[in-house]
């Protein structure tokens, strides 16, 4: 059927389930000129040196794992996953490449490409965020619906989308994997001081700061800011050192100002500050992740 497009179209029309089942269990050798890149490919960057290394390996060993494509009209195919292998095969001068063929619409294709790459950890955190946002924009998914589609917690979706609040320099550091998702999540809580967000990002890179250290720096900054706005610097009676440390740990965990109060009987309360509904949702996400 692959060599006879009209026969393939007829089979898909008459019994699409059987065609999909058959294609799912077999790979085919496809002429490389019949394959085109996916314009909605979630992955944005391809390291040139890594491509050369993979190309050299392919020349010796061939393609170990087939790529996955969807069939377009006639004998044309579009990549769902495996563009890196496809590009390296082109460099290696291959005329054919093994591929799994799928019958998919645009939504299914984007979902499959995203899920495939996330499972392989091929995407950096910003690329994942861009893909999540594309699904939301194109198909009107709510965060809960998208989480179910890609097999992630809602908090994971929310935290990735918060990366768009980062300044471009910080986003670049995420994209280049100079800072981790944990670092980026903490930096995204700085919404009122762009210079601090960027300088702290540079400090993370230069000094290899841990996520917990960054959270502590941000919590201290937010406490100082609250104090300047008239909030008391500490409880009226002050806190013993061990309780101050506990308060600091809560502040570091939530990335915001936390107030711990306790009376002589041992009763007390912990107050976690937030400025808006978005910040409240972020705090809930912290609890959900934990």
Most confident of 41-45, 202-206, 222-226, 285-289: 202-206
The residues, ordered by sequence, that sit 6+ positions from 270 with a Cβ below 8 Å of its Cβ are 247, 250, 258, 259, 260, 261
The predicted model scores a pTM of 0.51
pLDDT, tens only, 145-170: 888 888 888 888 888 998 988 998 99
Tell me the β-bridge partners of 262.
268
pLDDT at residue 209, rounded to an integer: 93
pLDDT at 34 over 80: yes
CA-CA distance, 189 to 58, in Å (whole number)?
A: 44
CB-CB contact of 85 with 67 (8 Å): yes
CA neighbor of 131 nearest in space, from 171, 175, 161: 161
The residue from 83, 111, 127, 223 that is catalytic is: 83
Query: Taking the domain 5-104, which CATH number applies?
Result: 3.90.1530.10
Q: Coil, strand, or helix at residue 101? A: strand
pLDDT, tens only, 61-112: 888 788 888 888 777 889 887 888 999 999 999 999 998 888 767 667 667 7
Tell me the β-bridge partners of 98.
29
- Residue whose pair of structure tokens reads 């986003």 in the numeric block: 171
pLDDT at 179 over 80: yes
Please list, residue by residue across 46-72, b when 16 or more beta carbons sit within 10 angstroms of its beta carbon and e when fewer do.
eeeeebeebbeebeeeebeebbbbbbe
CA-CA distance, 87 to 82, in Å (whole number)?
A: 9
Element (H, E) at 271: strand 268-272
Assess whether 36 carries a catalytic annotation: no
Q: Where in the chain is the domain with CATH 3.90.1530.10?
A: 5-104
**How many Å is the Cα radius of gyration of the chain?**
25
């Amino acid at each position: 059927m692959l060599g006879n497009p009209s026969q393939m179209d007829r089979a898909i029309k008459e019994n699409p389930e059987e065609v999909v089942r058959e294609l799912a269990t077999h790979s085919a050798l496809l002429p490389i000129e019949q394959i085109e890149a996916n314009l909605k490919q979630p992955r944005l960057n391809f390291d040139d040196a890594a491509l050369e290394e993979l190309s050299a390996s392919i020349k010796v060993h061939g393609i170990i794992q087939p790529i996955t494509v969807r069939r377009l009209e006639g004998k044309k195919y579009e990549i769902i996953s495996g563009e890196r292998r496809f590009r390296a095969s082109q460099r290696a001068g291959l005329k054919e490449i093994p591929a799994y063929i799928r019958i998919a619409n645009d939504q299914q294709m984007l979902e499959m490409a995203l899920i495939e790459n996330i499972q392989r950890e091929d995407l950096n955190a910003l690329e994942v965020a861009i893909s999540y946002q594309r699904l939301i924009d194109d198909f009107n998914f709510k965060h809960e619906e998208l989480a179910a589609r890609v097999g992630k917690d809602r908090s994971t979706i929310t935290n990735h989308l918060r990366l768009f609040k980062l300044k471009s320099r910080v986003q670049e550091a995420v994209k280049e994997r100079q800072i981790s998702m944990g670092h980026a999540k903490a930096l995204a809580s700085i919404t009122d001081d762009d210079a601090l967000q960027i300088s702290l990002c540079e400090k993370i890179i230069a000094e290899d700061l841990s996520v917990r250290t960054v959270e502590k720096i941000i919590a201290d900054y937010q406490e100082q800011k609250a104090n300047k706005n008239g909030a008391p610097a500490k409880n009226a009676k002050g806190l013993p050192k061990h309780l101050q440390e506990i308060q600091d740990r809560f502040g570091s965990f939530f990335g915001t100002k936390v107030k711990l109060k306790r009376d002589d009987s041992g009763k007390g309360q912990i107050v976690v500050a937030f400025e808006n509904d978005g910040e409240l949702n972020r705090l809930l996400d912290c609890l959900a992740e934990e």
